[in-house]
Amino acid sequence: MFPRLKLNHPMRWSRIYSTLDSHAIRLTSGSKFVKIKPVYGLRGSSSADFVSPPNSKLQSLIWHNPLQNVYITKKPWTPSTREAMVEFITHLHESYPEVNVIVQPDVAEEISQDFKAPLENDPNRPHILYTGSEQDIVNRTDLLVTLGGDGTILHGVSMFGNTQVPPVLAFALGTLGFLLPFDFKEHRRVFQEVISSRAKCLHRTRLECHLKKKGNSSSIVTHAMNDIFLHRGNSPHLTNLDIFIDGEFLTRTTADGVALATPTGSTAYSLSAGGSIVSPLVPAILMTPICPRSLSFRPLILPHSSHIRIKIGSKMNQKPVKSVVNLSIDGIPQHDLDVGDEIHVINEVGTIYIDGTQLPTTRKAQPEFENSKKPRRSGIYCVAKTENDWIRGINELLGFNSSFRLIKRQSDNE
């Protein structure tokens, strides 16, 4: 159930939620300045094209069909992102009346009372917000706008699961900002560039994780923008993992766990575990051990065409014991793994299977979406500010290769 606001003026909401019927969500705003409409009444999503100019490492974002449906998500229950969302939505309604604003049901509830006047003070022109089930939102989103930090982007992208992710426009309003090139003060200019097909995008790859339980012939597929990591969780025992690359046995490691990251995720958990920093333009998969018992197991940077298989093992020379290993993808807990279970990780674009290696057959981990057929394009296109956003990020956010600052002590001045 969604959290409720404590307000001086009670809100009138009629809500019906159903996991069986995606059209069962109905919201009625208590604000006279806001009208809530069902998102399933909008047209289906329209895909943009991305063209590589000869003099740029970025891709030009081109809309052949007009941009209409914009899904906006934000860092939850924070005053700054709440105010920014209301300001951004008001700007869209006033300057781009053809654009439909889509939000989650709980966000519609949260911000509904923050609109203090109708459009152009016309009582017949309320602010219109579209909302509904995640499935309906995914099927109708042309552009994803995030207001928050890196975690807000990961959460927003994860909603699209194994389907094609729309272009992402991110504004910095959170605590971490490796994926956030724009300050919110620039939102008017930046959105104008996006809607008029004058924006540039950086392509970021995703990993595809196939989870196969022991004794099952099929697997569950999940995609990762940042990282996939196996870890011991709250168990006092180290994990035992058998690692294969392209069908060839690499090693058995005893460790807290192991992280597999995209170049985008190289500045996240993998970096904290001692992994390399890798540009998102490099086609690679990072494998980083987490506190391995053997000091010779060092981080690896593998070709993006690699097929990585990790099988949960038990302690050598002993009978298998109950040993649960936790699996997390982009910070979201997944199914726990037992001895004999395994994961297969490849790049989203696919791989070349060597010596008869192949992926297990798959089954759906979520309801069938209209656009859940094989994506026409892979990865995620994030609207970029300049060609050097990544370099500026590691300098400003990481303080890359910064020298120690000289701090004068009081005794030095005496």
- Identify whether the C-beta of residue 213 lies closer than 8 Å to the C-beta of residue 363: no
The SS3 of residue 287 is strand
188 phi, psi to nearest 5 deg: -65, -50
Residue 307 tokens, joined: 């097929």
221 Cβ neighbours under 8 A, 6+ residues apart: 162, 208, 209, 210, 211, 362, 365
Structural Rg of the chain based on CA atoms: 24
Residue listed under structure tokens 């159903």:
18
Quick one: DSSP state of residue 217?
S
Q: Which of 193, 219, 218 is nearest to 96 (CA)?
A: 193
Quick one: DSSP state of residue 19?
S
Question: What distance lies between CA 105 and its chain's CA centroid?
Answer: 19
Q: What's the count of helices (H) and strands (E) in the chain, helices before strands? A: 7, 23
125-135: b or e for each residue (b if 16 or more CB lie within 10 Å)? Answer: ebbebbbbbbb
Q: Which of 245, 253, 247 is nearest to 297 (CA)?
A: 253
307 Cβ neighbours under 8 A, 6+ residues apart: 245, 246, 247, 344, 345, 346, 351, 353, 354, 357, 359
Catalytic: which of 21, 106, 114, 150?
150
C-alpha span between 16 and 236 (Å, rounded): 44
C-alpha span between 206 and 339 (Å, rounded): 27
Cα angle 206, 213, 310; round to 5: 55
Q: Which of 152, 147, 243 is nearest to 187 (CA)?
A: 147
150 is catalytic: yes
134 Cβ neighbours under 8 A, 6+ residues apart: 159
Catalytically annotated residues? 150
